[in-house]
Amino acid sequence: MKTAFFSECDYAPGDLKAGMRKAIKLALKYKDLKVSDPYEVSVIFTDEEGIREINNNYRHIDRATDVISFAFAEGDGAEYAPFLLGDIFICTDVVASHAGKYGTTFEEEMIFMVVHGILHLLGFDHHKAAERAKMREAEIVVMKQIFPQWKGRGEE
């Protein structure tokens, strides 16, 4: 499995890279996928202006958000690259704000964004209640393997 990290802002993940890679591997295992397969995912860090532009261009929502994922398994040609999972864009400014709002640490919140993003790339969603319940369960299972005290963010 290959994970590439890029930054469009001043943030550099440093020591968090290992935790982010672990989160991605645990999410793959949760979906009963082989971590030894050549999966690829990119994690891109951006600021509020960058994520707002992405959110507006692709979702037609003109505001900053915490994370946006683009699954390569969707769209034309996806069948030719089954191991290319996609891109996860994370807004570090919103992550920092959410850490305060939800009573998590910046590290927990950043890893949670990776978990949330990779689950989207693996087909999870949260638009309907039943989908949301499955995704929240997956998030908690993965996060507890990294942070045993994790109980969720208490947002719903």
Length of the chain (residues): 156
Confidence of residue 77 (pLDDT cuts 50, 70, 90): confident
Planar angle of CA 116, 120, 64, nearest 5 degrees: 65
Question: With contact defined as beta carbons under 8 Å apart, do 104 and 136 qualify?
Answer: no
Task: Let me know: does 110 contact 20? Beta carbons within 8 Å.
Answer: yes
Q: Kindly tell me if the per-residue pLDDT of 64 is higher than 90.
A: yes
pLDDT value for 156: 55
Q: Does residue 110 contact residue 81 with C-beta atoms inside 8 Å? A: no
Question: In the numeric block, which tokens belong to residue 111?
Answer: 């890893």
Amino acid at 131: E
Q: What Cα–Cα distance (Å) separates residue 154 from each residue in 3, 7, 13, 41, 117?
A: 29, 29, 25, 28, 18
**Average of pLDDT values for 71-99?**
88
What's the confidence (pLDDT) of residue 76? 74
If you average pLDDT over every residue of the chain, what do you get? 92
Segment 94-138, tens digit of pLDDT: 999 999 999 999 999 999 999 999 999 999 998 888 888 999 999
Helix, strand, coil shares of the chain as percentages rounded to 5? Answer: 50, 15, 35
CATH number of the domain at 2-146, out of 1.10.8.60, 3.40.50.1100, 3.40.50.1980, 3.40.390.30?
3.40.390.30
Name which of 77, 79, 60, 76 is nearest 68 in CA terms: 60
Percent residues over pLDDT 90 in the chain: 76
